[in-house]
Amino acid sequence: MRAYQKSWSRCDKAIELDPELVPAYVNRGLAYYEKGEFDRAIADCDKAIELDLELAWAYFLRSCAYYGKGEVAKAVSDLERCIELSSDPELVEAAQEVLKELGK
């Protein structure tokens, strides 16, 4: 629990200092996701995407949170967007693998 709290606290502080610091939203979203707080993870990914519409990693993370909530169609949509945007072959491969597992 402490590791999550420390991560949230650092990200909260970074966002307080710079509300447009995209990595802070993604990192805090990841901490929320890992804790199973999918709605909060989605909210942080939404903010990161609002600030940077082409941030493939935020779409991937949000897809995982949607899947965690059982919202498969939204997860698939975000995975497809991640693949469209990403120049990182490892991220593209991961997204393609998840899509394959989902039968898409």
Residue 39's identity, in one-letter code, is: D
pTM across the whole model? 0.90
Tokens describing residue 47 = 């903010």
Q: List per-residue pLDDT tens for the chain, 104 residues long.
A: 566 566 667 877 877 888 898 999 999 999 999 999 999 999 999 999 999 999 999 999 999 999 999 999 999 999 999 999 999 999 999 999 999 998 87
Torsions phi, psi for 52 (to 5 deg): -145, 95
Q: How many domains does the chain have?
A: 1
C-alpha distances out from residue 77 to 4, 16, 19, 81, 95, Å: 28, 31, 27, 6, 11
Tokens describing residue 71 = 């919202």
CATH code of residue 10:
1.25.40.10
Q: Which residues contact 83 (CB under 8 A, 6 or more apart)?
A: 56, 92, 95, 96, 99
Structural domain range at position 27: 2-101
> Do residues 62 and 39 touch, judged by C-beta distance below 8 A?
no
